[in-house]
Amino acid sequence: MKLKTVLILALAALVACLAAAYVLTRYAGPDALRAGNPGPMLPDMAQRLGELAVINVESVGRRVSLRREEGLWAIEQRDGYHADPTKVRDLVLGLERLQKLEPRTQLAKNHARLHLRDLKHKDSKAHKITLIDMDGHIVAGLMVGKRNFNIGDGGQSGIYLRRAESNETWLARGELPFSDDPTQWMNRLLIDLPAEAVAKVTLFHPKDHVVVLSKDPLTKRFRPENAPTGSGAAKPMAVLPLTQALDGLLFEDVRRADRIPFDPDGSLLVEIQTTAGPMVRMTVAPFEEAHWARLSLGRAEETADPAQDGLRRALLEAVRRADGWVFKIPETTAAALNRKMVDLVQMPN
């Protein structure tokens, strides 16, 4: 065989091998990638979960600090309001399950391409997660970069990572649910009072303007109790947003109660008597171009309906959980609650 022919065949074989390697890596899916798996990104994580006392999540100009307090996680940037334990658990388990797939660049000058540049650079798009133990020692520091949604046909995605103390970068398999926004760590459900469970609504506006609407047990429609003589019935489409205002209400932010002033002369008091028994009271006050609310309980009415037990317990728990805190509510909710008699009832000519 001629030397030229041998060289051509050898080159063809090399090209075929390279093509096969590319196809395997590009298309064969997680099982093929796992064959050369270098192991977990944080190998000691599983053994040290019980030691965690602080979790910091940072990006350029933003920071969230979660501190462990008596088995719960307090959000430092929100006066110690408790984080949703499910969200914290999902992050910790995600860190534990990270698996290295492929080494990438070790050159700091190339970190920006993977969104892994140090946060000291103002244009960095990285996030930094730092885990600290009860003695103040760092358990792990991880720079988290951009996602890679194409690591195979198995439907799994990857993420670019590097240890905070190292320039070595990796493509890893796993999910890391986290945020540098403090509000995203909370369960933001303030209260869930279905409209059909509203029996009576009383609105105490500033300057002694009071609106009282009660539900007719037969027609299920609301009627005004203190409307001017000659007024018509309550307008159903105007009343509906009011009765639905606390149905699955999500707050937008939270502060300790002493951080937001509530002026009695400028606050709206909403009392809602429920079919489950408890009277829910919500005080709403404007502050810095937003509306903030606090929950409390009023006088409860007895009910013997066992079907209402679940709702009664849920309402009592919502008020207990809200004790000592004030919540920023959506402007649409504030507007729905801030209704005057003229807005709700057909007034006399």
Give the pLDDT score at 308.
87
- Say if residue 98's pLDDT is above 80: yes
Domain edge (last residue) among 164, 185, 206: 185
165 and 238 share one domain: no
194 and 164 share one domain: no
Band of the pLDDT at 306, cuts 50, 70, 90? Answer: confident
Domain edge (last residue) among 139, 158, 185: 185
Q: For residue 174, how many other CB atoms are within 10 A of its CB?
A: 20
- Say if residue 333's pLDDT is above 80: yes
70 and 174 share one domain: yes
How large a percentage of the chain has pLDDT more than 70?
87
67 and 105 share one domain: yes
- Say if residue 267's pLDDT is above 90: yes
Contact 277, 308 (CB under 8 A): yes
Residues 158-168 have pLDDT tens digits of: 999 999 999 99
How large a percentage of the chain has pLDDT more than 90?
70
165 and 248 share one domain: no
Band of the pLDDT at 157, cuts 50, 70, 90? Answer: confident
Spatial CA neighbour of 253 closest among 180, 185, 174, 172 = 185
Band of the pLDDT at 13, cuts 50, 70, 90? Answer: low
Residues 209-249 have pLDDT tens digits of: 999 999 998 999 998 998 888 787 888 899 999 999 999 99
Q: What is the CA radius of gyration of the chain?
A: 29
181 and 195 share one domain: no
Residues 174-213 have pLDDT tens digits of: 999 999 999 999 999 999 999 999 999 999 998 879 999 9
Contact 59, 119 (CB under 8 A): yes
Domain residues for 245?
A: 189-344
Of 277 and 75, the structure prediction assigns the larger pLDDT to 75
* Mean pLDDT of the 303-331 span: 91
Give the pLDDT score at 166.
96
Q: For residue 234, how many other CB atoms are within 10 A of its CB?
A: 21
Instruction: List, in order, residues 6 or more apart from 47 with CB less than 8 Å away.
Output: none
3-state secondary structure of 9: helix
177 and 204 share one domain: no
Domain edge (last residue) among 185, 219, 235: 185
208 and 317 share one domain: yes
Band of the pLDDT at 27, cuts 50, 70, 90? Answer: very low
* Mean pLDDT of the 97-109 span: 95
Measured in residues, the chain has a length of 349
3-state secondary structure of 52: strand
